[in-house]
Amino acid sequence: MTRSVTILGATGSVGEQTLDLIKREPEAWQVEALTANCSAPELAQMAKDCGAKLAVVGDESCLPPLREALAGTDIETAGGQAALIEAAQRPVDMTVAAIVGCAGLAPVMAAVERGGSLALANKEALVSAGEILMSAAAKHGATLLPTDSEHNAIFQCLAGNDIDEVRSITLTASGGPLRTWSTEQLAEATPAEAVAHPNWSMGAKISVDSATMFNKGLELIEAYYLFPVGLDKIRIVVHPQSVIHSMVEYRDGSTLAQLGPSDMRVPIASCLAYPARMETPMAPLDLAAIGTLSFEAPDEERFPATRLARQAAAAGGAMPATLNAANEVAVEAFLDGQIGFSRISAIVEEIMASCDHAAPLTSLEDVLALDAEMRARTRALVEI
C-alpha cells in the first residue's frame, strides 16, 4: 500500500535522511509536499527526485528561483509562512516535522490540528509550547511519534506497556566532545572544538547543545511532556558510546533499553513505518566489536544545562520557552565569537533568574511573543 508523506524542513539533516529512506522504497511512498526556509535549488532537485506534488519555501524571496528551477514540471510551488501552514494542513498519512527553531511552531500546530500521524523532530514545539501542543494533539486525535533518538527509544520501550507501571525513564547522553575537559579548559573551548561531536553528524547549533548538555536538557523537557510519569522519574546518564539510546525501568525491576547505531535513519524509520518496521541500510549491531558500554553521572557543576532545564520544567509556565530562546541566542553568539563557551549556560541562567515566568502560555501567539522578547533580552545581555 502506498502511503503519503509531507516533509517540513526537507533540506535539513532529518529531512535528507527521511528522503534517503523513502527513496529506498519508492513504490511505498507518495511525497505530497517538501518545504525549506530557502535553499531553492536543493529543494527543487529533491522535489524532482522524489516526485513531490508541492515545494514550498518559507522565505518568500526565494520563491522566484524555486519556480525557475521547477519550470516545465508539474510540481506546484509556493512561498511564505501561510504556504508552509497550508502544506502542513494537507491530508497525508504521515507528516515529518523537521523545521528547526520557532519557525516550525505554526506548521507543527497546523499538522497537529489536522490530526493524523506526525513524526516530530522539532524540539522547540515541545520545549516552548509543550502544554499547548499536547493539549491540541489530544483534542484533534493526532498521533505524535518522537523522532529524536532518545525519545523514540523511550517510545519503543513503552510499546505494549502501561505507563502507570513505569518506575523511571533514563535519557542517555553522549557527553559531547568536551566531556572530559576541566572547567578551565571549557572556558577556552572554540566553536570548532565544540561542534566536533565524536558519534553524531549534526548541525552546528545542535552540536554545541550537545557539548554544553543543553541538548539533553531540552530533551528532558520534551520527555516531561511526551511521557507523563512525573519530572522526578526522568533521569539522565552519560553514555559515551551512544549505543543505548534510552531506557525504561518498570516497577517490577525490569529495565528495557533500545540499542542501535548512531544514525538518525533508525528512529526516522521507526516513525515512518509505525506501527510496523521497515528496512534500513544499517549494518547489524556488533556488540562484541563495540566491546564496552560505560555510564557515568552527569556533572552539573561543569555542565549546568541539565540542572537549568529541570528547573525550567519544574517551574512550568513560560520558563521552558525562556530557556530555549536564551540558549539559542547564546549559542549563536558563541559560534560568532562574541562570547566564550562557558558563558552560554551563565547567560541562560541569568535570563531565567531575571524574569518571572510563572504565568501559563495559552496560545501559539503567546509563545512567539515571549520567544521574541527573551531573544531581545538575551541579545542585549550578550552585547553588554
**Residue labelled with grid coordinates 556533572:** 299
Q: What mean pLDDT comes out for the span 160-168?
A: 96
* CA 353 to mean position of chain CA atoms: 25
Q: What mean pLDDT comes out for the span 139-152?
A: 96
Within this chain, do residues 155 and 249 fall inside the same structural domain, yes or no? yes
In tens, the pLDDT along 13-38 reads 899 999 999 999 999 999 999 999 99
| pLDDT the model gives residue 103 | 82
| DSSP type of residue 125 | H
Q: Please tell me whether residue 106 adopts helix, strand or coil conformation.
A: helix
| pLDDT the model gives residue 203 | 75
Q: Report the candidate in 365, 371, 320, 323 with the shortest Cα–Cα distance to residue 347.
A: 323
Q: What mean pLDDT comes out for the span 110-120?
A: 95
Within this chain, do residues 357 and 381 fall inside the same structural domain, yes or no? yes
Q: What mean pLDDT comes out for the span 335-357?
A: 93
In the chain, the amino acid numbered 31 is V
Within this chain, do residues 156 and 251 fall inside the same structural domain, yes or no? yes
Q: What mean pLDDT comes out for the span 119-126?
A: 90
Q: Is 337 left (phi over 0), alpha (psi -120 to 50) or beta?
A: left
Domain boundary among the residues 110, 129, 146 is at 146
Residue 305 lies in a domain: no
Within this chain, do residues 9 and 118 fall inside the same structural domain, yes or no? yes
Residue 311 lies in a domain: no
Q: What mean pLDDT comes out for the span 271-275?
A: 95
**Residue labelled with grid coordinates 531553492:** 40
Q: What percentage of the chain has pLDDT greater than the value 70?
A: 99
Please state, in angstroms and rounded to a whole number, the distance separating the CA atoms of residues 354 and 360. Answer: 17
**Residue labelled with grid coordinates 506534488:** 53
Q: How many CB atoms lie within 10 A of CB 116?
A: 17
Lowest-confidence region among 23-37, 219-233, 351-365: 351-365
Q: Please tell me whether residue 232 adopts helix, strand or coil conformation.
A: helix
Please state, in angstroms and rounded to a whole number, the distance separating the CA atoms of residues 142 and 290. Answer: 39
Within this chain, do residues 104 and 44 fall inside the same structural domain, yes or no? yes
Within this chain, do residues 229 and 155 fall inside the same structural domain, yes or no? yes
Distance set, CA 118 to CA 77, 299, 337 (Å) = 23, 34, 37
Element (H, E) at 57: strand 54-57
| pLDDT the model gives residue 197 | 82
| pLDDT the model gives residue 14 | 93
Residue 273 lies in a domain: no
Within this chain, do residues 77 and 184 fall inside the same structural domain, yes or no? no
Strand order through the sheet with 234-238: 234-238, 166-173, 244-250, 255-259
Within this chain, do residues 332 and 291 fall inside the same structural domain, yes or no? no
171 pLDDT band (50/70/90 cuts)? very high
Q: Is pLDDT of 5 > 80?
A: yes
Read off the C-alpha cell for 227: 511521557
Q: What mean pLDDT comes out for the span 211-235?
A: 97
Residue 266 lies in a domain: no
In tens, the pLDDT along 310-328 reads 999 999 999 999 999 999 9
Beta pairing, strands 29-36 & 3-8? parallel
Residue 28 lies in a domain: yes
Concatenated DSSP letters of 312-343: HHHH-TTHHHHHHHHHHHHHHHHHTTSS-TTH
| pLDDT the model gives residue 357 | 64
Q: What percentage of the chain has pLDDT greater than the value 90?
A: 90
Within this chain, do residues 52 and 129 fall inside the same structural domain, yes or no? yes
Q: How far apart are the first and last CA of the chain?
A: 59
Which residues span the domain enclosing 383? 316-384
Residue 141 lies in a domain: yes
Provide the CATH number for the domain around residue 25: 3.40.50.720
Within this chain, do residues 138 and 231 fall inside the same structural domain, yes or no? no
Please state, in angstroms and rounded to a whole number, the distance separating the CA atoms of residues 38 and 352. Answer: 33
Provide the CATH number for the domain around residue 354: 1.10.1740.10
Asked if 204 and 335 count as a contact pair (C-beta separation under 8 A), the reply is yes
Q: How many CB atoms lie within 10 A of CB 202?
A: 17
| pLDDT the model gives residue 358 | 61
Residue 277 lies in a domain: no
Within this chain, do residues 128 and 157 fall inside the same structural domain, yes or no? no
> What is the 3-state composition of the chain as percent helix, strand, coil, each rounded to the nearest 5?
50, 15, 35
| pLDDT the model gives residue 187 | 96
Q: Please tell me whether residue 292 adopts helix, strand or coil conformation.
A: coil
Within this chain, do residues 214 and 96 fall inside the same structural domain, yes or no? no
Domain count, the chain: 3
Please state, in angstroms and rounded to a whole number, the distance separating the CA atoms of residues 169 and 344. Answer: 27
Q: Report the candidate in 302, 25, 5, 255 with the shortest Cα–Cα distance to residue 153.
A: 255
Q: Is pLDDT of 141 > 90?
A: yes
